[in-house]
Each structure stands twice: as C-alpha cells, then as structure tokens.
C-alpha cells in the first residue's frame, strides 16, 4: 500500500512540471558570435530533463546566445572531446528498493567525465529532490562532493510549504553572478 501511494504521489508531482510556452528565448546581443561553445545535454540516462523535452527553453536560450546545443555524447574519453559543456539533469538509475534508485552512471562513465572535467570540460550536474540524488551520487563523489538524498527544507525562504524555496536576488539565495547582473546595462 505504501509503495503504491509513493508511486502515485511521484507520478502526480512529475506530471505537474511543464515548460512555459510564453518564455522568450530571444537574446538581444548574443555572447558568442564568432566562437560557439558546444553544449551536450544528457539524454542517455533516462533523464527527466532533455534537450528536446523539459529543457527545450534552456537549450533554445543557449542557442540564441550563440552556443551549439545537442544531446550529449556517450560518456567516454573520445566522445566527450566533442563538447565543451556537459549538462546532466535528473539522470535515472534502476529501481533499488521502494524509495531509492541505483546509480545512473557506470564507474567507467564517472571516470571519463572526471578526466574530461580535469582536462578543461565544464560540468553542470542537476539532481532534484529524492530519488534523483541517489541516482547521481556516484558521479560527484569523483570530485569529492556528497549529494543529499532527500528534500531541502527552509522555513525562512519557503513559500508556505517548507520544501518550496523561493530563490531571488532580494533574499540572497541566488548569490552574486554575472548571469544575474547581465553583461552590460541593456541586460
């Protein structure tokens, strides 16, 4: 009974995430007009977010700024040389038990990504709330990073529900970054 309820809740939660059809990906002054950094968005690990799925607006925005965006190659030394930035969002591992996933990546894939990053590649790894931390935890361990395996709760920055955090410049949760400032006054 509990497993069925968990599955039902997870299915309802997953079904609520959709792209904003009115989001404008227009970039007035693209950053990359002569060079075009190559971005690979992972779709090879049953990812919840992919280039042509839930991350399509993100991919379109990157392309509008001058990036070349495609599905990520296999995670091996030769294939990864074809991209500059690897985006992995919510990779899925095999079911491990009623609450956890097994690893989404093989040890060989983790080694290849680790070596590629050490050689100059850029990795953006996203793992939402449980169970995605379980599936991804093997990869950031190669970099000395431990993934959380549950939900973040923050009463100070929550919007009613303590697991629904509001990230804004005003409350400081977005930190300081050029993306937030823009490249010039027009942004």
Question: Could you tell me if 71 and 50 are in contact, meaning their C-beta atoms sit under 8 angstroms apart?
Answer: yes
In this structure, the answer to whether residues 177 and 88 fall within a common structural domain is no
In this structure, the answer to whether residues 84 and 165 fall within a common structural domain is no
Look at residue 20 in the predicted model and tell me its pLDDT.
77
Range of the domain at 183: 152-187
Res 103 pLDDT > 80: yes
Look at residue 185 in the predicted model and tell me its pLDDT.
80
Average pLDDT of every residue of the chain: 85
In this structure, the answer to whether residues 105 and 186 fall within a common structural domain is no
In this structure, the answer to whether residues 92 and 184 fall within a common structural domain is no
Lowest mean pLDDT among 83-92, 139-148, 177-186: 177-186
Res 187 pLDDT > 80: no
Both tokens assigned to 114: 């680790």
In this structure, the answer to whether residues 72 and 116 fall within a common structural domain is yes
In this structure, the answer to whether residues 41 and 118 fall within a common structural domain is yes
Sign of CA dihedral 77, 80, 84, 88: negative
Write down the residue that tokens 């060989």 correspond to: 108
- Per-residue pLDDT band at 16 (split at 50, 70, 90): low
* Residues in contact with 36: Cβ distance below 8 Å, sequence separation at least 6, in sequence order: 66, 67, 68
In this structure, the answer to whether residues 112 and 137 fall within a common structural domain is yes
In this structure, the answer to whether residues 113 and 185 fall within a common structural domain is no
> What SS3 class is residue 13?
helix
Q: pLDDT over 90 for what percent of the chain?
A: 52
Res 122 pLDDT > 50: yes
In this structure, the answer to whether residues 76 and 99 fall within a common structural domain is yes
In this structure, the answer to whether residues 90 and 179 fall within a common structural domain is no
Number of domains in the chain: 2
Between the ranges 2-6, 12-16, 23-27, 72-76, where is the mean pLDDT highest? 72-76
In this structure, the answer to whether residues 128 and 159 fall within a common structural domain is no
């Amino acid at each position: 009974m509990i497993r069925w309820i968990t599955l039902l809740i997870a299915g309802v939660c997953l079904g609520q995430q959709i792209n904003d059809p009115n989001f404008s990906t227009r970039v007035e002054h693209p950053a990359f007009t002569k060079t075009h950094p190559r971005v690979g968005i992972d779709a090879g690990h049953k990812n919840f977010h992919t280039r042509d799925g839930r991350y399509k607006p993100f991919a379109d925005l990157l392309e509008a700024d001058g990036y070349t965006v495609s599905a990520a190659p296999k995670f091996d030394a030769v294939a990864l040389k074809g991209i500059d930035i690897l985006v992995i969002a919510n990779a899925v591992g095999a079911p491990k038990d009623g609450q956890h996933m097994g690893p989404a990546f093989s040890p060989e894939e983790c080694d290849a990504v680790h070596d590629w990053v050490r050689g100059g590649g850029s990795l953006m790894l996203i793992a939402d709330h449980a169970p995605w931390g379980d599936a991804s935890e093997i990869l950031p361990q190669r970099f000395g990073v431990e993934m959380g395996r549950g939900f973040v709760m923050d009463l100070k920055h929550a919007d009613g529900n303590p697991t629904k955090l509001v990230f804004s410049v005003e409350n400081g949760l977005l930190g300081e970054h050029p993306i937030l400032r823009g490249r010039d006054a027009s942004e």
